[in-house]
Amino acid sequence: MADLSIELFGIRFKNPVWVASGTFGYGIEATRIYDVSKLGAVVTKGISLRPRPGNETPRIIETPCGMLNSIGLQNPGVESFLKELYPQIEKIDTHFIANVFGESEEEYVEVCLALESAHKIVAYELNVSCPNVKKGGIVFGHDPKVLGSLVERIKAKIRKPLLVKLSPNVSDITEFAKVCVDSGADGLVLINTLLGMRINIRKARPELSTKTGGLSGPAILPVAVRMIWQTFERFGFRIPIVGVGGITTHEDALEHIYAGASAVQVGTANFYEPFAPLKVIEGLREFMEREGVESFSKLVGKAHRLDIKGDVNLSQKTLQDSFRKGGDTECRP
Amino acid sequence: MSERDFRDVRVRVAENRFISGKLWFMRLEPLGSVPKPKAGQFLMLEVSSTYDPMGRRAFAIADYDDKSLWIYYDVVGRGTGLMSLFREGKEVRAFLPLGKGLFNYEGDRHLLIGGGVGLAGLTLLGKELRTLGKEVVFVYGAKSKEHLGMLEWLKREGFEYILYTDDGSVGRRGYVVEALRDFGKDWQISACGPYPMLKALYSQAKKTGHRLYLSLESRMACGWGVCLGCVIKSSEGKFLRVCYEGPVFNAESVRL
């Protein structure tokens, strides 16, 4: 059987298929659908220091091949998460990555610190790109200097790996990726939702309570693939990229992977195709067996092979070594 | 690990017909095993195999027989428009049974008030209550006669019913909320329909002292508790998921 397991930032994952923050709760409801331990990892719904009620309704509206959401990071807060939800996820045999949100640098640090001793949480995904809250979040994600300072400050305080989920609502995402690389982030998650809006023409007013919201779903696949491509082109294997945006099938996942993603997250598809993550895992496994690919990492960045100077057929060992060392294969031609 | 009670099954369209007004009826035969649905539960139906529209649509499981699940739907947009084109034999996916059916089964006399297609959220409850030996009366209201298409079900099932129409084209002229005046406090009320109707019922039930349970509709992306799109505010001001904590709520526990 093809080996789908991967090692990223020193952690072994069963497979490279994770579920995206905000599309899977904390993994508890899904145990009523299937065996959640089959997933490579579960990225939790955003966790903040204090409970957040979330935005008023309407919070969602459908769009062509996608949807807009403006949930507003509704969550019970880190204390309540640890007390009430964490004991339930402890039984699920896969890694959890905490999506962490704060309104200030200090809050981000505090949430991470509160989760440091929770062993199921193997890494943090920094949410600096939620378009639906007024304070925090995207403020950090839209100014490279502010982002760099945040990443540095958190990295200095925590032991677990730190991933940064970047906003696509910027002119050059690689500038933000650079700041993360320079500040010591362990991985990048590309991309969060695209800022969008719909108007109800019958009522002549915006569909969402917050007027604008984040676009997700199959419609954003090409934007995610392009941004992963650009980031991989600039940094290669220097920092692992986790692809998210518009993935429903293993073919969608392969686009992300060929563009440079070392792992992928299934997001909005969880809503309309509850079994999508498992189908992606099986689809990738069958694909690798059919194509005779023994190791998943051979697929990462494959579409760049004509653009990369030097060794185009990097062995698994080389790839893993480059991750371990923080990478030295700057792939920009 | 909890029981795997949410199933995503292929269903075959066994019947899909227009009734009247905007109302359609569809019978779906699951091609895999599904748990027996309870009153108040719903399913999420795939309406397109492309991603446009992407989302599934939520429908109350109105009734079922040995082989099939029954839904009633109003054609109001692109998703339901596509559904109206489903031919017999077409196979789509359905995710079910979703939601908790936390209706009120106490008391011996039950008034079930449905507005338009909302009646489909109460039909199974009517059958369950009747099986328990309770007295059940349906109140069914809509704009006009042609929007009372589920009358065929009420008649076939032999339930007692009272009709209301805005224009008086059939039954009493007026709104279903008026029915509360004719039934004493010992009648338990369960209702499903548009929000203005539920709000009116809520304020009337406050005055008359009736116990009121509501089955709510909401815009849903997932139906299984993770998108947080369908929420309603609880009386304490916290957001509850209509799909997961509901869709049935004690009217006192939510702010409409």
Residue A204 carries which side chain, given as an amino acid letter?
A
CB contact under 8 A, A270 and B226: yes
A39 at interface of B, judged by CB pairs closer than 8 A: no
Closest-CA distance, B118 to chain A, in angstroms, reads 20
Q: What is the pLDDT of residues B190-199, one digit of tens each?
A: 999 999 999 9
- In chain A, which residue ranges form alpha helices assigned H by DSSP? 78-80, 86-89, 105-115, 138-141, 144-157, 173-182, 221-235, 250-259, 269-272, 276-291, 316-324
Domain edge (last residue) among B98, B121, B154:
B98
Q: Does A69 touch chain B (CB under 8 A)?
A: yes
Rounded Cα–Cα distance for residues A267 and A218 (Å): 10
Contact across the interface for A32 and B4, Cβ inside 8 Å: yes
User: What token pair was written down for B144?
Assistant: 């006009």
> Which residues form the domain of B68?
3-98
The reply to whether B182 falls in a domain is yes
Average pLDDT value for residue range B199-205 = 97
**Whole-number percent of chain B with pLDDT over 90:** 96
**Nearest CA among A260, A250, A313 for reference residue A15:** A250
Judge if B32 and B143 occupy the same domain: no
Contact A54/B at CB under 8 A: yes
Q: What is the structure's pLDDT at A135?
A: 63
Q: Per the domain annotation, does B187 fall within a domain?
A: yes
Contact A208, A70 (CB under 8 A): yes
Question: Are B91 and B128 in the same domain?
Answer: no
Q: Which of B226, B230, B236, B244 to mutate to test the interface with A (most CBs of A within 10 A)?
A: B226
Note the pLDDT of residue B78: 94
Residue B148 lies in a domain: yes
CB contact under 8 A, A271 and B5: no
Interface of B with A in 227-246 (CB under 8 A): 227-232, 237-239, 244
If asked whether residues B24 and B74 sit together in one domain, one would say: yes
Question: Which of A23, A34, A62 is facing B54, going by the closest CB pair?
Answer: A62
Of the candidate ranges A61-70, A323-332, B118-127, B149-158, the one whose mean pLDDT is the lowest: A323-332
Among residues A65, A112, A130, A331, the one annotated as catalytic is: A130
**A275–B226 C-beta distance less than 8 A:** no
Chain B residues in contact with A54 (beta carbon < 8 A): 228, 231, 239
Report the length, in residues, of chain A: 333
Torsion of CA B235, B236, B241, B243, to 10 degrees: -30
Work out the percent of chain B whose per-residue pLDDT is above 70: 99
Whether A273 has a pLDDT exceeding 80, the answer reads: yes
Confidence tier at B101 by pLDDT (50, 70, 90) = confident
**Which residue of chain A comes nearest to B237, CA vs CA?**
A53
**Number of structural domains chain B divides into:** 2
Interface of A with B in 186-225 (CB under 8 A): 217-219
**Angle at CA of residue B22, ends B16 and B27, nearest 5°:** 20
- Tell me, what CATH number does B113's domain have? 3.40.50.80
Gap between the Cα atoms of A131 and A213, Å rounded: 7
The answer to whether position B104 is within a domain reads no
Domain boundary among the residues B68, B98, B128 is at: B98
Q: Check whether A314 has a pLDDT greater than 60.
A: no
pLDDT digits (tens, 9 = 90+) for B9-51: 999 999 999 999 999 999 999 999 999 999 999 999 999 989 9
Q: Are residues B161 and B243 in the same domain?
A: yes
- What's the N-to-C CA distance of chain B in angstroms? 34
Domains of chain A: 6-54+72-198+215-325 (3.20.20.70)
> Is A271 an 8 Å CB contact of chain B?
yes
With beta carbons less than 8 A apart as the criterion, state whether B199 and B232 touch: no
Q: Is A112 tagged catalytic?
A: no
The answer to whether A61 touches A213, Cβ cutoff 8 Å, is yes
Residue in the structure block whose two tokens are 């949930």: A71
Rounded Cα distance, B133 and B155, in Å: 19
Mean pLDDT for the stretch of residues A202-215: 97
Testing the interface with B: which of A28, A57, A251 to mutate, by most B Cβ within 10 A?
A57
**Mean pLDDT of the region A296-317:** 69
Residues of A in contact with B237 (CB under 8 A): 53
Question: Where is the domain boundary, B98, B128, B147?
Answer: B98
> What letter would DSSP give residue B37?
P
The CATH number of the domain where B18 resides is what?
2.40.30.10
Contact A130/B at CB under 8 A:
no
Asked whether the CA dihedral A127, A49, A183, A318 is positive or negative, the reply is negative
Write down the mean pLDDT value for chain B: 96
| Window A:88-117, CB contacts with B under 8 Å | 91
Alpha-carbon gap: A332 to the closest alpha carbon of chain B (Å): 35
Chain B from 86 to 105: CB within 8 A of any A CB: 95
- B141 and B42 belong to one structural domain: no
- B136 and B9 housed in the same domain: no
Residue A319 pLDDT class (50, 70, 90 cuts): low
- Inform me whether the C-beta atom of residue A160 falls under 8 Å from chain B C-beta atoms: no
Q: Are residues B89 and B120 in the same domain?
A: no
Asked whether residue B141 is domain-assigned, the answer is yes
A75 pairs with which residues across the strands? Answer: A52
What is the pLDDT at residue A305?
80
E-strand stretches of chain A: 6-8, 11-13, 17-19, 41-43, 60-63, 66-69, 95-100, 121-127, 162-165, 187-190, 194-197, 199-200, 205-206, 212-216, 241-244, 261-266
Alpha-carbon span A40 to A28, nearest angstrom: 16
**What is the rounded (10 degree) CA torsion for B152, B154, B160, B165?**
-70
Say whether both B60 and B119 belong to one domain: no
Query: Using the beta-carbon criterion (under 8 Å), do B225 and A29 form an inter-chain contact?
Result: yes
Q: What is the mean pLDDT of residues B129-141?
A: 97
ipTM of the complex: 0.94
Q: What residues of chain B lie within 8 A of the CB of A31, using their CB?
A: 1-2, 4
Q: Is A69 close to B225, i.e. CB distance below 8 A? A: no
pLDDT at A1 exceeding the cut of 90? no
- Indicate whether B230 belongs to any domain: yes
Residue range A120-126: mean pLDDT, rounded: 97
What totals of helices (H) and strands (E) does chain A contain, helices first?
11, 16
Query: Does residue B225 sit at the A interface (CB-CB below 8 Å)?
Result: yes
In whole angstroms, what is the distance from residue A237 CA to residue A262 CA? 9
Question: Considering the entire predicted model, what is its pTM?
Answer: 0.92
| Element holding B29 (H helix, E strand) | strand B23-30
Are B78 and B134 contained in the same domain? no
Is-contact B220 B243, C-beta < 8 A? yes
What is the distance in angstroms between the CA of the first residue and the CA of the last residue of chain A?
36
Whether residues B32 and B121 share a domain: the answer is no
What pLDDT digit, counting tens, does each position of A174-203 carry? 999 999 999 999 999 999 999 999 999 999
Q: Flag whether B60 is in a domain.
A: yes
In the numeric block, which tokens belong to residue A224? 């995610």
At A332 the pLDDT is 36
Mean residue pLDDT of chain A comes to 91
Give me the pLDDT at residue A333, please: 32
Could you tell me the pLDDT band of residue B2, with boundaries at 50, 70 and 90?
low
Is A53 within 8 Å of B239 (Cβ atoms)? yes
Closest-CA residue to A169 (of A221, A247, A224, A210): A224
**Tens digits of per-residue pLDDT, A71-88?**
999 999 999 999 999 999
| Averaged pLDDT, A251-278 | 98
Return the H-helix or E-strand segment holding A250.
helix A250-259
- Residue B103 resides in a domain: no
Tell me: do B117 and B204 sit in the same domain.
Answer: yes
Query: B136 and B71, same structural domain?
Result: no
- How many A-B residue pairs are in contact by the CB < 8 A criterion? 100
